Amino acid sequence: MKKKLISKRPTWDEYFLKIAEIVGSRSTCDRAHVGAVITKNKVILSTGYNGAPRGLPHCDDVGHEIVDGHCIRTVHAEANAIAQAARNGAPIEGAIIYLTVSPCYDCFKMMVNAGIQGVVYKQFYSSRYGLSKAVLDLSKKTGVKIKVFK
């Protein structure tokens, strides 16, 4: 009789973060491969990765536009996921977004305005554009929950 191998079934956070990692592997800016997955009721509504605006040359092909150590050519993964949801008519009010790295202030403000209610991220993004006191303060004011996956 063969012994059945028992594998640990991933939690929903593990599952969606692993998908976000694969989405991030499509990034067209080699400085950071960031992925985002927007879900609601455990169903994927939209995904996004960081890269040049639609139809424009990729950083990987033509180089970066660096300002203060940050590539401004790219659209962040979170913004692309929100834009993709809007393009396809996917309502994301009350959704959770899963990110491979913590959100910047501008993306977090966009998430608030889009109605996202929760943020789960895997890795802290340490730069002045990453998770900051301003993001944490806005999280408290708006009730949008931010959670690091451990």
Active-site residue numbers?
A: 78
Count the Cβ atoms, other than its own, within 10 Å of residue 76: 24
CA 36 and chain centroid, separation: 3
Q: How far is CA 48 from the centre of its chain?
A: 7
> How far is Cα 88 from Cα 86, in angstroms, rounded to an integer?
5
Type and span of the H or E element at 36: strand 35-40
Give the whole-angstrom CA distance, residue 33 versus residue 22.
9
